[in-house]
Structure formats: C-alpha cells, structure tokens
Chains A and B, each alone.
Chain A
Amino acid sequence: MTSRLSEALRGLADGVPAAAVPEELFDRARARHRRRRAAAAGALAVVMLLLGAGYALRAGSVRWPTAADSTAPGLPTRLVDPPLRTASVGQSAPGAAAMLFGGPAVRDGWNENRMGVVAGDADRYRVLAPAERQTAGFEALLSPDGRYVWAGGLLYDLTSGRSTRAGMDGYPLAFAPGGKRLAYADHETFTPPNTYATPYVGLYDRDRHTDVLRMRVGVAWVPPGRAAVSPDGAELAVQVRDEVWLARVADADPDGTAGPYRKLPLNGGRLPGAGAWLPDGRSVATLTRSTCTDCPVPSYPRTWRLETHTVADGAMVPGPAFPDLRSATYVHLVGWRSADEAVALVGVPGPAAVDRPETHDIATSPHQEHGTASVQLVLLRRGAASPDVLFRTPAGITELTVAASLAIDGAVRESGSPDFGPPPIWLVAAAAILIASAGAALQSLVGYLRRRRHREADGRRRAGSDSSA
C-alpha cells in the first residue's frame, strides 16, 4: 500500500521543474549576510551606547536592592574598605550615614579625593569624590543626623544622592548641633613670606540662606576643626591662635558682623571641635596639652586633657577630671551624653607621627596631624581612669567622622554583609567590552574549528573520489 502512496507522491511532484537559482545567489547571499551582521553589530553597539549614556546621565540615583539587612540606625561595629566598584553617592544614595571616612585604603592613585560613607541603618557603602581632596572630620563634615556631607563647597544629601551649593564661600568648620546652621571660614588671605589670615568666620543659616553672624578675625588663620556652634545655634566659639573667641548672633550688626564678646585663653591647648559646647550652652570645653611619661606610643608623648569652662567668666567648671588621652594626635568632641560624659574622636599616631609643638607653622602642615594611623571613638567620663574605646578604624582608614546623634545616643548595630551598590558605568562598560571580546574570540575559535573540520572532510571526500577513480 505504501508503495502506492510513494508512486502517487512522485506523480504529484515529478513534473515540477527545478527552481531557477540565480548565478549570483552564492555571492549575494553571503554579502547580504555580512551586511546584516554588520548592521546588527552596529545596532547593538548603538543600543549599548544609548543605554550606557542613559545610565551615566540619568537624573536620579539608582534604587538598588540592598544585600544588607536594614536595622535600627546605629554606628556599625565594623568598617570595611570600599572596593573600586563601590557606587558613588550620586549613583545610588545610601541614606542617612553613620560614618564618613577616608585614608589610604579608600584612596588610590586614580581616586585620590575618594571618601567613603556607610549608612546608619545598614551596611550600605558608597563613595564621594569632591573636586579637591578633603579630610573626613576636618574639611569634610557629616551633619549631626548623618543626612548631609559638607565638603568642597557642596552639601551632599545622602538620602537623595543630590548635591547643592552650600550657600557660602569658604571652607567648613562645624555643623551646628541642630544641623541648620553651618560655621565656615572665609578663604584666607596670604601675606608674603608665610602669613595666612582668615578674614572672618561666618555662621550660615540654611533656612534663611544668609549669614546670621560674621565674626571678624583677620589676625590669624583658623584651621578646619577649630570652631563650634552652641546647641541653640546662637553662639559661636572659634580658636584664634591661643584663644577661644566667643561671639553671639544677638550682638551682630545689621550686616551680620560682630566681634568676640569674650576671649578665653587656651594656654597652649585647643578648642576640641564641633562638640565643644556643653548641652546647657553655658560652658565650653577646651583641651590642655601635656607630655606623658608612660605613653602607649613612647615616641609620641602628646597628651590631651579635657576641661570645661563657663563662658560667663572663663572659670573652670569644678568636678572630677576627665581621663587623659595619651599619645593622641588630636581630639574632636562629637557631643555630650551629659555634662560629665563626652564622646570624642581621637587620632592614634602611627610610627611616622612626630609630636611637634603647638606653635609649629600650621600653614605648612596638613589639617590632620601627619602620621595619624587610625581614629578611635571614645567615651570620656569624669573621674574615670581611662577613656572607653567604643570603636577603632581598621588599618588603612585614618580619617573618620560620625553622625553625632548616633554617637551621643550610643546607638550601635551589628555589622552585616556590606552592600556596595550598583556597578559604576566604567565597570559596566568594561564588562560589556570583556563579554564582547570573549564572545568574538569564542566565535572565531568555533569558526576555525568548523572550517578545519570541513577542510578535513573535503580532503577525505577528495581522497575517496580519487581512489574510486
């Protein structure tokens, strides 16, 4: 029966003439294939370019599903070096930060201005790269609530990833405890051969978009980290040479300028940074400097002791002494848990640190003492024999500042798996090029193997036909 079907099918088809095949079909087909392949590759390249450009020029930051578990905000127990692929704050906003940090582990030859931030509620790491190198805790400050980084004349909003002009022309000195007012120093003047002077220190109100106070200085340079705003934002304390100058917003002229209403002598000491004002706003802390004999780092005997003075008459507030901070390059007060408990960041000297006198020409020195190897967050209690170390930066992270609200509340969270955000555009481009190169190499290899196999098969066929002939 099936032979009848075969016959019937042949009866249907046998009269069909062979298709007309153009002579040039071979060349035309191959040329068309080459053109289509080139067009497809071009279209793919254009799409990749458009996607890459869109990714690089997008308006907002990328919402990135974080690997880190979100918890109640707190200072992390561990800090890691952000790898090269870490997203920037502009690419993917981390949220309010717990820490802003820097150091050799964060920077490299290609990213010499790089700083890292880690979020308060999870281990979301992001990086910032201002136009000029800034030192975290000195020229780059974190607002008390951790929402803003103030660096290089810009305010980076860590919750949106956007940055705006800070509103004034000068370098940062301190956030007010409420975060609404910013103390800054006008750019210094230079008188040859080596005299620098800060014309004035301003207090900028972010709500009013204007200075509410400009304290004239003019006689000395005010380095970063040597100013503090009172808890109510109405008074300013600035270290000018060996004195703390105090000025009030209420005393300002209509143009905002005012002179100091009091000058407290430092006697070789320092104003300990943004947290110098006590919570009551009637006392200010200072540091006295001495030399230890049984120092943790014998080559660096510099010792700091915290004292508090009333602003009314400069008298020292009575009470048990705070513990000495021995072998400490610098001390920055973050804030106060009570009048007897202060939280501070303390610089730990490394082997290269040299204990220079306070009169050393600061104009030629870095803002953070050279040789600081790590930073400790410590709790200083009146009457305690030694400070309680709450946190210490790992090797390679030599600059640190923290969100004051978390440090003062003692909010600490266990560190988890770090999240470094979406890959940066250069990494996406590099991966695309790598994949395309690997694909092209693989295609070439497969093509080569096929051609070789075909040549061998041709050779066998020819050999077979020769032998049969």
Chain B
Amino acid sequence: MNEDRTRAGFAEFVRAENAASTRFAYLLTGDRQHAEDLVQVALARVAVRWERLDDPGAYLRRVLYTQAASWWRWRRARPPEQLDGFVPDRPAGPGDDVDLRMVLQAALARLTVRQRAVLVLRYYEDRTEAETAKLLGSRIGTVKSQTRHALGRLRSLAPELAEFVGRTPQEVTR
C-alpha cells in the first residue's frame, strides 16, 4: 500500500518534471539522445532515493548536472565529434533565427559543463544566484564568477552573440 503510494507520487513527479528536465539536460549536453539517457539515469536515481528526498526536483537537476559532467569527462577522452547543427522539430516562428541558434549551440558546446549549467539555470530557468548555487552545490561567488566567465567566453567565441550576452560583464548582472 505504501509502495503504491510512493510509486504514484513518483509517477506524478515524472509527469510534472519530465519535459523541463529533458530540456535542461539537452542544454547541458547539446545532444537529444544523450539528454534522454541522462534524464532516465537521473530519474532512476531519484526513484531509488524517493522516500529520502526533501526536494526531488532539486536533486534531479543536481544529478543531471553531475552526470552531464561525468559524461563530459568521458566524451573529452574520445575523438571530438562534429556538431550536427540540430534544428528543432518545429516550424520556425517569425522571431526565430536558425543561424543564430546554431551559432549559440556551437558556442555553448565549447563551454564547460558547469558554465553551461550556470547559464541554463540562470537564464533558461530564471533562477536566482542563490538557487543556482544551491542546486549545483557551490557558493554564490562561484556562480557569479562562472556566469561572468561563461558570458565572456560566449562573447569571445561568437562575437555575433554580443547583443544576447551583453558587451561588458556589468551588463549581465541581474
């Protein structure tokens, strides 16, 4: 009976978090297949610890980040792969700029996983520095410096993204 309730609670959690966590994982890895694998691995970990978790969503993101970092380390030991310039499976809207998205994706791929995680949490999930720090298990100062370094690297990698990331570090302070 208790197990059924636990299973039902987990299923509800998956329904609520699956889409967002898959996008989070995709932005971390830049690869849909890996993102899906990552989400399944992270959800399995959440399932194992379900009764002990106070904030399963936060734990899920933490696992996605650590697993992405682990996968990242594994990937760096392998021959580099050519990014395929993935185009999302949806019709381009009026405001969409496919070239710009490809440039952003390529630039994101050159960041470290931590830098990507900071950017995704701060600018995709609109989380505060404190929340980001808590989710990544780091200090606020680290989040600030990683944000600054990430934006600076995006600027240097793709000057055409300047209007997205700001021209000076001060411009990106929230």
Q: A: which residues have CB within 8 A of B?
A: 1-2, 4-22, 25-30, 32-33, 447, 450-451, 453-454, 457-458
Contacts and interface: CB of A to CB of B under 8 A. Distances in A.
Given A4-B163, A5-B165, A16-B26, A21 B14 contact: yes
18 contacts: A2-B123, A4-B164, A5-B165, A6-B124, A9-B119, A9-B124, A12-B108, A13-B24, A14-B23, A14-B88, A15-B88, A17-B19, A19-B25, A19-B35, A26-B11, A29-B43, A450-B52, A458-B9
For B45, B47, B90, which residue has the most chain A Cβ atoms within 10 angstroms?
B47
For A8, A10, A22, A27, which residue has the most chain B Cβ atoms within 10 angstroms?
A8
A10 B164 contact: no
- Classify the interface of chain B: helix, strand, loop or mixed: helix
Nearest to B162: A1
Contacts of A18: 18-19, 22
Interface of B: 7, 9-11, 14, 18-19, 21-27, 32, 35-36, 39-40, 43-45, 47-48, 50-54, 88-90, 95-96, 100-101, 104-105, 108, 119-120, 123-124, 126, 163-166, 171-172, 174
A6 B40 contact: no
Given A16-B22, A21-B43, A26 B89 contact: no
B28 to A, nearest CB: 10
A93 B127 CA distance: 67
Contacts of B9: 458
A4 B100 CA distance: 12
B88 A25 contact: no
B86 to A, nearest CB: 9
Contacts of A19: 18, 21-22, 25, 35-36, 39-40
B51 A451 contact: yes
Given A9-B27, A27-B7, 9 more contacts: A1-B172, A2-B123, A2-B166, A4-B164, A10-B124, A12-B108, A17-B89, A21-B39, A451-B51
B81 to A, nearest CB: 18
A29 B48 contact: yes
Contacts of B166: 1-2
Contacts of B47: 25-26, 29-30
Contacts of B48: 29-30, 33
Contacts of B172: 1-2
A266 B40 CA distance: 97
A410 B119 CA distance: 83
Nearest to A6: B123
A457 B54 contact: yes
Contacts of B90: 14-15
Nearest to A37: B48
B36 A11 contact: no
Contacts of B96: 11
A20 B36 contact: yes
Contacts of B120: 9
Contacts of B54: 453-454, 457
A225 to B, nearest CB: 71
Contacts of A27: 7
Contact of B171 (A1, A30, A450, A453): A1
A28 B21 CA distance: 20
B154 to A, nearest CB: 8
A11 B39 contact: no
A447 B51 CA distance: 9
B46 to A, nearest CB: 8
Contacts of B43: 21, 25, 29
A6 B51 CA distance: 34
